[in-house]
Structure 1
Amino acid sequence: MERLLERLGRTTARHPLITIVSWLLAAVALLAVSQAAGGAFVNEFRIPGAESQHAVDLAQRHFPQYGAVSADAVWHTGSGTLKDPRKAAAIKAVVGEFARQPDVRSADDPLAGMVSADGTTALSSIQYGKELGDLSAAHADRLDKAAEAARKAGVDVEFRGLAVDLASQPETSAVELIGVAAALIILLIAFGSVVAAGLPVLVALMGLMAGTALVLIAGTAMDIPAIAPIVAVMLGLGAGVDYALFVLTRFRHYLALGEPKVDAVGHALATAGHAVLFAGATVVVAILGLLLTGVPFIGGMGVAAALTVTMTMTAALTLFPAVLGLLGPKVNALRVGRRRTVAAPLAGEPGVEPGLWGRWAQRVAARRYLYAGLAVLILAVLSLPLLGMRLGTPDDGNNPQSFTQRRAYDIVADKFGPGWNAPFLVVAEAGDKAGNDAMVKRLTAGLTADREVSVVTPPQASADGKVSLLTVVPKHSPQDQEVSDLLHRVRDDLVPKTAGRDATIAVGGPTAFVTDLSDTIGDRLPWMVLAVLVAAAVLLVAMFRAPLVALQAALMALLSIGAAFGVLIAVFQWGWGVTLLGVDGPVPIMSMVPMLLFAVLFGLSMDYEVFLLSAIKEEYDASHDAQRATWVGVDGTARVITAAGAIMTVVFLSFVPISDVAIKMIGIGLAAAVLVDVTVVRLMLAPAVMSILGDAAWRGSGGRRPDRAAPAPPAREPSDVG
């Protein structure tokens, strides 16, 4: 593999313009194809086989209006009532304007529908005759502009629903710029050269552009959720910069040794490129493990992220070597400060003294059991909140006050009750009308008698009378434990007692959907974890040919992930500093986040592990001294890993200001994991464990003594790196 990568590096370096132009043409072609294909992202989530999904499907088959995309309008006045003549006239005029807007099928009169007891608040629905994918933010904007006439008459109008959510889809352009700027600053400090600092970011952006085009193309064949591109950009930008950084560090080292630029590119790709290839492959395999969940929108997120990381890795291994071959020594141009690049001594040479990080690794090795125990203790303490993790889905009540959905949520909770923000949908089906009527009567009586039920609406019957639709309103808000307990009582106790032999009763709605999603993930998670661990172990064994090394790498990744989950739970579920993130208070952990984070974090943890172990193995092959190999490997990678980790962290944190709570959770979880990984794991636990294992770690790895005349990896980076 090293020879193939070296040949690839030399070829692209010898023909840089051909490679660069080919890359640009390919990227433009992918963008053109993605636009022509018309790929789009979806906001509709499905859980095949779940009871909540069955309830929705059954309702849509027998009640066509139920399947329509809609927006809810919440009408509220602070003085008088909505039936005051001037206000009523304004409401009627606005409803008429709603009905005349493009794609609107019907607009209900709020005064003829659900009105609060004091007459100050009413609810109405605006139904569209289009699929959700055919609507845009413009539809919600037209609703808001039409409502101005009612507001001038003293009636506040707020909106919620899927059609409105399109208007508040998070944008990534601003946060991408923040992440790129932060990465440039860190790279400038690390390399002391404007050119060297800008190249990894430029190459990562090229890979990101191609990856985004592939995601759009994939959207024509499968459901890619609207949140997926944001996660993909987050991962692709961070990983792409890191991969290019690893290659650039080795290239500058070989240049400083006096090698011609083509040779330097070849040797850089044979060493750092080998680590990038296996690290990237591990990330992709881990993320694709999300397909094993059996939940389409989670699998779609995995595919989007995997495609983006694949393209940024490909750019680092093909486009970047061509750019380096074109620039050669000019990669160090536009220097900042007076530092100059010098070659570090060859790894494994007698008399080489350890640098700062090498001395740290020697100190860790001297007290290996102490540092290993301390690192495990820190990770265990950080992981403790995992014992109390509560899954759920943040609702509109967790949005900022600037969102119309949040204001609508608060008004409804205050005037009608918190349960109206996420009622249950109960669909009952019997073999005939008489049987259905009798069953629904028993069902309504049982629901009304429950202490946690606030309202059971009169049943709606289908055209043939065999199917009935009921709305059950809990007394508590969607995220409260009482609502979850109510769902289980209805499903586990009431439904079996009520449904006949040939009858079906399915309970759906937002809360039921979240519960079913959590159960589905819980059932599939062990299999996904097992599949990811096996796949990663196979890749690591293939790279290092050392099973013990692969095992310890997997275990350390799990410890790092546990610590990240603990931080995530402490921040969001316990509420430690959550208000600083723009969230009003504690929220449950979104059901999909733990599974997504596990796949991503396991892959990212392997990035740094592979880079570190590659350096250790190269030295071990040279010296066959496990203790020396450990400190030389740490000395040669710690600064680069630290810089790469800092870049990853700021990129992930730059996405936290996005209003979507799921994005905030993912950003905080990823940033916490990277911080823990590059500090506690890479600088304490990994050197301690490798020192404990000693020669046993590399038993069977087939290490051999290379020709010392050939360039070797640095004992530490050039003096101006890090």
Structure 2
Amino acid sequence: MAELLYRVGRLCARRAWAVVATWAVVLGLSVGGYLAFGGALSSQVTIPGTRTAEVTDQLAARFPSASGGNGTVVFHTSDGSPFTDEQKAAIGELLRSTADLDGVAAATDPFATQRQVTEQAGQLTAGQRQLDAGRQQLDRAQQQLDAAKAQPGAPVAQLDAQQQELTRKRAELDAQATKLDLSQRLLAMSAEIRLVSEDNTAAVAAIVFEEEQLDVTPETKEAVVDHVSAGVPAGVGADFSNEITQAVPEVLGVGEVAGLIVAAITLLVMLRSLIASALPLVGALVGVGVGVTLSLSLSGVVDMLSITPVLGVMLGLAVGIDYSLFILNRHRRQLLHGADVHESIGLANGTSGNAVVFAGATVLVALLALNVTGIGFLGLMGTVGAICVAVAVVIAVTLTPALLSLLGLRVLSRKARGDIARHRAGDAPTEPMTRNRAVLTAVAGLAALVLIALPALSMRLGLPDGSSEAQDSTQYRAYTLIEERFGEGVNGPLLVVAELPDPVTGDDLLAAQVRVGERLAAQGDVTAVAPIGQSSDNLLLAFQVVPAQGPNSESTERLVRDLRGLSPLDGGVTLGVAGSASGNIDISEQLSDALPIYLSVVLGLSLVILIFVFRSVLVPLTATLGFVLSLFATFGAITAIFQWGWLGAVFGIHDPGPILSFLPTILIGILFGLAMDYQLFLVSGMREAYAHGAPARLAVRQGLHAGRAVVTAAAIIMISVFGGFIFSHTAMIRSLGFGLAFGVLADAFLVRMLLIPAVMHLLGRSAWWLPGWLDRVLPNVDVEGAALERSHPVTPRVGEQPRQASTVG
């Protein structure tokens, strides 16, 4: 591989303009493919086959009116005064016209509906009074009839006929009383559900779409938002729930640009050349453009989560800059030793480029392994991330050599170009670290990682709701208004379906609704239960259940499990639960179940790959354990900030909640690959020094000395790029950006530069132990490109000592 990459590097250097033109064409084709074949992205996280998905499919097949996507519009007066009659009428008319928009099935007028509920309650009260009056009238008639029967010579036949009539009327009253009682019980169960707040300052309108939630197009949602926003009457504001306003997140905002600026400054400080600093950025941006647009071309044929391309941007920028930097840094050092430009490009591509290919391959394996979880959207995220990383690797070993050739010696600063003939390599350490320092470093590093990881013991998984959106967003205002004026649970109602063994109609239907509804209402943490209809075959009843707390609360999660545990009810009635809160719970549970399997696969791959690379047993074990420590430290930091709310003001966390359900799985895949990158670039230098005769403990320090500068710069660049996404307006992107930034920080600086060198010092020669039988079986990977260096030595200037090659730069 090293010899092949050497030839590729030389070829790209000689045909530099052809390579640049080729990548320009590839970028144009990928952008054209996206414009031609790209489809809409989804903001809804779904997993087929969950219990919620099964209920949703059941509703779609047998109760279509309850299966369409829906969202909420919250109307509120601007000055906090009650709605006027004119405002109510204008809102009603606006909603009637909203229902006529393409893709909208219905729009509920909250004032009309609330008025109907109030009238219904009044009718039931009036009916109860009439019923009581009728009973009193029948009682008086019965008394008169009994008195008549007691009179001598009373006409028995006539009195018997009157008695039969009274009995018939009493039976009718009893039937009416039963129906009235059932209606009153239904009304009592749903009494807490309001569409207009008690102070008459806020109203909730439900917008029902024709398609299922996942299939509602962004254009349909935008049309609703635009139409309602333009038509609200004076003195009234309108805010929209997540289901209506969720859209494709911003890929490059202010925070992301700031991250790129920090990366550019880091490159400038390290390389001391503006031209050289721009080269990795150019390559990374081209790679992101190709990788992301190529991936988005798939969105026309597969359902793609809106965060997926953002993940591609994160990875493409971070690894693209780092991989080009490794090759550039190697090339610059060789130029300083007097190497010919094209020869140096070939050697840098064959040595550091070889390591880049191998490091990229580990990231690819980890990302593609997300498909073993069996969760579609997660596997697709991994695949898109892998595409972007693969493009970054190819860019690094083709476009980077071409750009290096075009720039020539200008990749060095003017001062460095003048000092080429007098350049001396930095002196390598001649003494290993002390044993006491190694012990102290290992203990302190381990203690710090364990301490940071402790909050992970209480980590809860979920999906973001309106409370996690930016405080100035309409979604957040809608969420908080509903919470304040109508109750927390209204933001995440549950949809419960009851499958009956036999069809019911008429009074029997009303009785069945009451019987099932009261069982649901009897559960703890239920605020209200309301029947919303039945299927056309009268076998499926649907209920809206309003929890006491919000969709991400522990009590709502417990309520979903309790409701499912009720099934089957007496009489063979089976229950199913759906809704956003139920769906979040199912998705989180399935992701949690997949996490151990995926972690096992990744750790197994880690051991196998590193045994191949380092021809050692203990080095892979320490590397893998170090990865586990940094991973759980990352989980702990995420839990403390996003779930507990620590430093919330710094990171914009105003309403702490559960951790994004698929974040731990994604972090395992990405951080594993990046951890192995740094392990490779640092420990390969140690192995190389040991192979060239340095004592094992001294080799540890020499390898660390040779690689720490470029790895430090690479880690800072990654942290900057990932950290820029922390300040995104999208909750999912914020937590993902923080997790990746902190994970790189913990792994690169605590694990790879402190803990691993200390442990390897304590292990000494045993760190490189490999059983004889395994040594004979394993192929020689030569990731450092040592054989290439022997066949293509860099000739030093007169007066210099030959430089010992180093893959780390």
1:256-304 C-alpha deviation (Å, 9 max, x unpaired)? 1111112111211222112211211111211222222222222222122
Q: Which residue of 2 aligns with 1:670?
A: 740
1:271/1:713 contact within 8 Å kept: no
| Distance (Å, rounded) in 1 between the aligned partners of 2:618 and 2:564 | 48
2:459/2:659 contact within 8 Å kept: yes
Structure 1, 608-617 or 84-93: larger mean CA deviation: 84-93
Q: Name which of 309, 319, 334 aligns with 1:239.
A: 319
1:658-684 C-alpha deviation (Å, 9 max, x unpaired)? 111221111111111111222211221
| Distance (Å, rounded) in 1 between the aligned partners of 2:266 and 2:547 | 51
Q: Which residue of 1 aligns with 2:310?
A: 230
| Pairwise CA distance, 1:709 | 8.2
| Distance (Å, rounded) in 2 between the aligned partners of 1:80 and 1:342 | 81
Superposed, which structure 2 residues align to 1:290-689 within 5 Å? 290-332=370-412, 343=423, 345=425, 352-354=427-429, 362-363=432-433, 367-434=437-504, 441-492=514-565, 494-498=566-570, 500=572, 504-623=574-693, 625-689=695-759
| Distance (Å, rounded) in 2 between the aligned partners of 1:342 and 1:119 | 83
Q: Which amino acid in structure 2 is aligned with residue 10 of structure 1?
A: R
| Distance (Å, rounded) in 2 between the aligned partners of 1:600 and 1:294 | 18
Superposed, which structure 2 residues align to 1:688-703 within 5 Å? 688-700=758-770
| Pairwise CA distance, 1:187 | 0.5
| Distance (Å, rounded) in 2 between the aligned partners of 1:636 and 1:386 | 35
1:546/1:699 contact within 8 Å kept: yes
| Distance (Å, rounded) in 2 between the aligned partners of 1:16 and 1:218 | 31
Q: Which amino acid in structure 2 is aligned with residue 160 of structure 1?
A: S
1:278/1:539 contact within 8 Å kept: no
Superposed, which structure 2 residues align to 1:179-258 within 5 Å? 179-258=259-338
Q: Which residue of 2 aligns with 1:276?
A: 356
Structure 1, 41-50 or 417-426: larger mean CA deviation: 41-50
CA gap of 1:204–1:338, structure 2 versus 1, over 3 A, is same
| Distance (Å, rounded) in 1 between the aligned partners of 2:806 and 2:348 | 15
Higher Rg of the two aligned structures? 2
1:298-354 C-alpha deviation (Å, 9 max, x unpaired)? 2222122111111112111221112112322122257799998975549xxxxx542
**Structure 2 residue matching 1:506: 3-state secondary structure:** strand
2:295/2:384 contact within 8 Å kept: yes
Q: Which residue of 2 aligns with 1:110?
A: 110
**Structure 2 residue matching 1:427: 3-state secondary structure:** strand
Q: Which residue of 2 aligns with 1:157?
A: 238
| Distance (Å, rounded) in 2 between the aligned partners of 1:364 and 1:587 | 46
| Distance (Å, rounded) in 2 between the aligned partners of 1:466 and 1:315 | 60
| Pairwise CA distance, 1:576 | 0.9
Aligned positions, number: 702
1:632/1:715 contact within 8 Å kept: no
1:649-703 C-alpha deviation (Å, 9 max, x unpaired)? 1111111111112211111111111112222112211111222233333344679
CA gap of 1:209–1:92, structure 2 versus 1, over 3 A, is same
| Distance (Å, rounded) in 2 between the aligned partners of 1:439 and 1:293 | 42
CA gap of 1:488–1:71, structure 2 versus 1, over 3 A, is closer
CA gap of 1:9–1:547, structure 2 versus 1, over 3 A, is farther
2:336/2:416 contact within 8 Å kept: no
TM, length-normalised to structure 1: 0.91
| Distance (Å, rounded) in 2 between the aligned partners of 1:657 and 1:264 | 41
| Pairwise CA distance, 1:499 | 7.2
| Distance (Å, rounded) in 2 between the aligned partners of 1:646 and 1:418 | 42
Q: Which residue of 2 aligns with 1:286?
A: 366
Provide the identity percentage: 34
2:523/2:562 contact within 8 Å kept: no
1:499-547 C-alpha deviation (Å, 9 max, x unpaired)? 72xx542112222222212221222111111111222333223333333
Q: Name which of 670, 685, 710 aligns with 2:793.
A: 710
| Distance (Å, rounded) in 2 between the aligned partners of 1:342 and 1:589 | 56
Gaps of 5+ in 1: 347-351
Cα root mean square deviation, aligned: 2.8
Q: Which residue of 2 aligns with 1:349?
A: none
**Structure 2 residue matching 1:710: 3-state secondary structure:** coil
1:55/1:425 contact within 8 Å kept: no
| Distance (Å, rounded) in 2 between the aligned partners of 1:337 and 1:365 | 42
Q: Which amino acid in structure 2 is aligned with residue 447 of structure 1?
A: L
Q: Which amino acid in structure 2 is aligned with residue 135 of structure 1?
A: T
2:688/2:806 contact within 8 Å kept: no
**Structure 1 residue matching 2:656: 3-state secondary structure:** coil
1:341-394 C-alpha deviation (Å, 9 max, x unpaired)? 975549xxxxx542xxx87xx336663233222211111111111111122233
Q: Which amino acid in structure 2 is aligned with residue 444 of structure 1?
A: G
Q: Which residue of 2 aligns with 1:66?
A: 66
Q: Which residue of 1 aligns with 2:225?
A: 143
Q: Which amino acid in structure 1 is aligned with residue 534 of structure 2?
A: A
1:368/1:688 contact within 8 Å kept: yes
CA gap of 1:415–1:337, structure 2 versus 1, over 3 A, is farther
Q: Which residue of 1 aligns with 2:346?
A: 266
CA gap of 1:216–1:147, structure 2 versus 1, over 3 A, is closer
Q: Which amino acid in structure 2 is aligned with residue 209 of structure 1?
A: G
| Distance (Å, rounded) in 1 between the aligned partners of 2:751 and 2:419 | 31
Q: Which residue of 2 aligns with 1:95?
A: 95
CA gap of 1:40–1:549, structure 2 versus 1, over 3 A, is farther
Structure 1, 645-654 or 584-593: larger mean CA deviation: 584-593
Structure 1, 143-152 or 306-315: larger mean CA deviation: 143-152
| Distance (Å, rounded) in 2 between the aligned partners of 1:227 and 1:58 | 29
Asked if 1:123 is matched to 2:204, the reply is yes
| Pairwise CA distance, 1:615 | 1.6
CA gap of 1:366–1:417, structure 2 versus 1, over 3 A, is closer
| Pairwise CA distance, 1:644 | 0.8
1:437-463 C-alpha deviation (Å, 9 max, x unpaired)? 576544312111123110001241011
CA gap of 1:209–1:499, structure 2 versus 1, over 3 A, is farther
Q: Which residue of 2 aligns with 1:3?
A: 3
| Pairwise CA distance, 1:498 | 4.7
CA gap of 1:546–1:123, structure 2 versus 1, over 3 A, is same
| Pairwise CA distance, 1:400 | 2.5
| Distance (Å, rounded) in 2 between the aligned partners of 1:659 and 1:499 | 50
| Pairwise CA distance, 1:412 | 1.4
Q: Which residue of 1 aligns with 2:12?
A: 12
1:88-121 C-alpha deviation (Å, 9 max, x unpaired)? 2321332244234454343332222233344333
TM, length-normalised to structure 2: 0.81
| Distance (Å, rounded) in 1 between the aligned partners of 2:362 and 2:338 | 34
| Pairwise CA distance, 1:214 | 2.0
Q: Which amino acid in structure 2 is aligned with residue 677 of structure 1?
A: D
CA gap of 1:713–1:602, structure 2 versus 1, over 3 A, is farther
| Pairwise CA distance, 1:717 | 8.6
| Distance (Å, rounded) in 2 between the aligned partners of 1:586 and 1:580 | 13
CA gap of 1:574–1:50, structure 2 versus 1, over 3 A, is same
**Structure 2 residue matching 1:223: 3-state secondary structure:** coil
**Structure 2 residue matching 1:458: 3-state secondary structure:** strand
**Structure 2 residue matching 1:464: 3-state secondary structure:** coil
1:22-76 C-alpha deviation (Å, 9 max, x unpaired)? 2221221122122212344222332222111112111222222333333321122
